[in-house]
Every structure is written in structure tokens, then in C-alpha cells.
Amino acid sequence: MTVKYSKDHEWVKVDGDIATIGITGHAQEQLGDVVFVELPAVGKAVVKDKEAAVVESVKAASEVYAPVSGEVVEVNKDLEGDPALVNRSPEGEAWFMKVKLKDKGELDGLMDKAAYDKFCAENA
């Protein structure tokens, strides 16, 4: 399973034509304690680099941008009842949405783990 990262600190795990999307550990560290997550509706079309969800912490509210375009086929209902899951497992159980990819070519513009780590270090 391929994992890619965006400059907006989202991760994408691709399995076939389904992309699972969440925010990175780096992003949740910047946010602090997450208190609320607003997820898109199933069936909604999300567009690469446009707002797809909202995450609120004790520090601030922040948009979650879609790293790829497609149709939302599933959202993580666990986050509604337990938004702090984002702090405990940002790159695991706390995925935000699953999207049916519109264009796999969009993945080419995203970073692998090594490039993302370097990006974070250079922009700290």
C-alpha cells in the first residue's frame, strides 16, 4: 500500500482506486488537543487542494485539504464521538475519509515519507 504526503500535512494511503486520507503526526502536534472534527458527506466530490474537512483543537480550527480529487465513499464516524483519536493515532485509526480517486496521476505531485520528513525539517 502506497503512502503519500501533501505540503498541507495530509497523508494518503492508496489501495486500488480508493484513497484513505488523514492528517499527519506533524499536523496533529501543531494543532494540540483535537476537540472536534467535521467530516464531508458521503457522496461529496472533493477537489485536490480544496477544503474537504475541518479539525478543531484547543488552539485553533484548521481546514483539512483534499490531497487528491474524487468522491467521498466513506467517512470515519469514530472521529465524531472521539475526536481525540486524531491525537492518539493520526496516521492510523484516525483517518478522515475514503475517496474514490478521480485521477491517479494526482498522486505524482505528492511526497513519499523521506521527502515529507525533509519538508517538515526545512519548514520548522
Q: Residue 84: what pLDDT? A: 96
* Distance set, CA 90 to CA 32, 98, 104, 105, 106 (Å): 12, 15, 24, 25, 23
Q: Residue 11: what pLDDT? A: 98
pLDDT in single tens digits along all 124 residues of the chain: 789 999 999 999 999 999 999 999 999 999 999 999 999 999 999 999 999 999 999 988 999 999 999 999 999 999 999 999 999 999 999 999 999 999 999 999 999 999 999 999 999 8
Helix (H, G, I), strand (E, B) or coil at 106: helix
Question: How many Å from the N-terminal Cα to the C-terminal Cα in the chain?
Answer: 28
Q: Residue 80: what pLDDT? A: 92
Q: Residue 20: what pLDDT? A: 98
Q: Residue 113: what pLDDT? A: 96
Contact 94, 22 (CB under 8 A): yes
| CATH class of the domain defined by 2-122 | mainly beta
